A = this chain, B = another copy of it.
Amino acid sequence: MTRQIGFNAFAMNTVGHQSPGLWRHPDDRSAHYRDLEHWTELARVLERGVFDGIFLADVLGTYDVYGGDSTASLRAAAQVPINDPMLLVPAMALVTEHLGFGVTANTSAEHPFPFARRMSTLDHLTRGRVGWNIVTGYLDSAARNLGGTQLPHDQRYDHAEEYLEVVRRLWEESWEDDAVVRDAASGVFTDPAKVHPIDHHGRWFDVPGFHLSEPSPQRTPVIYQAGSSPRGIGFAARHAEAVFVAASGPASLATTVARVRAAVAEAGRDPRSVRIYTKLTIVTDATPQAARAKYDDYLAHTDAEGALALVSGWMGEDLSRHDLDQPLADVTSNAIHTYASAYSGVDDDGRPWTVRDLALRAGIGGLGQLVVGSGEEVADEVQALVEQTDVDGFNLAYAVTPGSFVDVVEHVVPVLQARGAYPTAYRPGTLRHKLFGRGDRPARRQAVLTAGAGR
């Protein structure tokens, strides 16, 4: 049986997202990110294309490593200005029926008690179509503006583990399924005996009370996570239902996917129960020639400085201090980490990158796989990638929006559908059920979570 592939749209409530400079392209409307209609139109396009969902990235700071401040980022609109992602969801939900919404939220930004209510509210309003991409924060500028310094990497994960325990207990343990009885005769809306305080007292949080929201369709949103460090992969293996992985090329991607699946199995879970996505940028058109011309046109609109501002932030290394032709290995030993990207700086064929290679590759859709061609060509490459790497689907970054998504829906999706490699309709029900076909609620909770729960 042909393997089914899933697409997510990779977007952000900002200009350009991962394609700094492309806002100058006449087809790009990303600078309309402030208009609701920009997003509702995109949502309709994606649902027409049977996308799994729209995945909304976020940062709560700016890229200020390149040149030592935010000058380059501001000039190029490299993820600044940036608005809140969560507030886009209700409007997009109103005009769609099936599309999923993956929302990025940082465990160091908000206390888990009100955050749990926000996600429950979204799960109610979307009728169970919301996911949460857990990030632990990687921009120092965000931590500073929240009035502190960033926790060391490993402590961030300790903090995130406790954060997740608190919100999961609020979502899963506080209200029993039949707590809301809504019985007009007796006048009882909620049976108080079936609502339980979580009585959490931990290292980072004290939350004695019960959840403020009644149970939502999924209760716990679908958990997304990315993280290429050993600690990050461990976290994903225990908690994530969808994982984002990244690599320099197909061979290293295959290795990463295998590593994640092994870690999931080691955590006592079915390695096929986790959906693994990697980032992909598709430039496509009716013919191979038109697609290549389109790519060259996009390339002419990229902004190298903006791209290096992003990459410098991801690496924590100021690339403005180096010659563009310097080999990357001479510049830094830092790996390039972001929740969407992790690169060794070496191609699959062993050729080491220069700083310029980085800027070029990060210019359209950020770092990640890039495919240029007709619908048939792209479908071939996408299927080959799945074959080679065992990845389940793709987070599609855009060159221009909504154009890049419209192109995929027009040229690529029908080809994959005709080959039986892409869904032609949505499964009914919640996002979790659409993705995994096993009901609305998370699979039985892992030992690590139930251990501390006992009531």
Q: Interface on A for B, CB 8 Å cutoff?
A: 13, 15, 21, 23-24, 31, 34-37, 40, 60-62, 70-71, 74-77, 80-84, 86-91, 93-95, 109-111, 113-114, 117-118, 120-122, 124-125, 141, 144-147, 175, 180, 182, 184, 187-192, 195, 205-210, 212-214, 216, 303
Contacts and interface: CB of A to CB of B under 8 A. Distances in A.
A117 B180 contact: no
Given A75-B188, A76-B189, A192-B71, A124 B83 contact: yes
Nearest to A195: B74
A111 to B, nearest CB: 5
A81 B214 contact: yes
A5 to B, nearest CB: 30
B60 A212 contact: yes
Contacts of A60: 113-114, 117, 212
Contacts of A89: 87, 90
A60 B207 CA distance: 13
Q: Kindly list the 5 A-B residue pairs having the minimum CB-CB distance in the complex, ordered from nearest.
A: A77-B189, A34-B124, A81-B214, A83-B121, A84-B121
Given A110-B114, A147-B206, A147-B207, A121 B70 contact: no
B24 A94 contact: no
A73 to B, nearest CB: 8
Given A117-B84, A125-B34, A180-B81, A187 B76 contact: yes
Contact of A209 (B24, B141, B182, B189): B141
Given A36-B94, A113-B146, 20 more contacts: A23-B189, A24-B187, A35-B125, A36-B90, A36-B93, A75-B190, A75-B191, A80-B212, A81-B212, A87-B125, A89-B90, A90-B90, A90-B91, A91-B91, A91-B94, A91-B125, A111-B147, A113-B147, A141-B209, A144-B209
Contacts of A175: 81
Nearest to A110: B110
A89 to B, nearest CB: 7
A455 to B, nearest CB: 16
B190 A36 contact: no
10 contacts: A34-B214, A36-B125, A61-B212, A74-B189, A75-B187, A88-B90, A110-B110, A113-B147, A144-B209, A145-B209
Contacts of A74: 189-192, 195
Nearest to A26: B184
Nearest to A207: B145
A99 to B, nearest CB: 14
A16 to B, nearest CB: 8
Indicate how many identical chains form the complex. 2
Nearest to A123: B34
Contacts of A188: 75
A70 to B, nearest CB: 7
B76 A208 contact: no
B40 A94 contact: yes
Contacts of A147: 111, 113, 205-207
A216 B120 CA distance: 28
B113 A145 contact: yes
A33 to B, nearest CB: 8
A62 B121 contact: no
Contacts of A120: 83
A187 B305 CA distance: 11
A210 B144 CA distance: 11
Nearest to A34: B124
A324 B24 CA distance: 70
A89 B34 CA distance: 14
Nearest to A141: B209
Given A86-B87, A212-B60, A80 B111 contact: no
A83 B208 contact: no
Nearest to A124: B34
Contacts of A109: 111, 114
Contacts of A124: 34-35, 83
A255 to B, nearest CB: 36
A75 B117 contact: no
Contacts of A184: 23-24
A118 B213 contact: no
A192 B74 CA distance: 6
A139 to B, nearest CB: 11
